[in-house]
Amino acid sequence: MIRIQVRLRGAVLRGLEASGHAHYGVSGNDMACASVSAVIRSVCMGLETIPGIVLDGGAEQEGEIRLDVTRIPDNYQQEVCGITRVLLLGLEGLQRDFPGSLTVEVVRTE
Domain boundaries, the chain: 2-109
Q: Are 6 and 107 in contact (CB under 8 A)?
A: yes
Q: Are 26 and 102 in contact (CB under 8 A)?
A: no
Q: Are 4 and 32 in contact (CB under 8 A)?
A: no
CATH number for the domain whose boundaries are 2-109:
3.30.70.1490
Task: Please report, in tens digits, the pLDDT of each residue of the chain (110 residues total).
Answer: 999 999 999 999 999 999 998 877 767 778 999 999 999 999 999 999 999 999 999 988 888 999 999 999 999 999 999 999 999 999 999 999 999 999 999 999 98
Distance CA 104, CA 91 (A): 7
pTM higher than 0.85: yes
Q: Which amino acid is at 47?
A: L
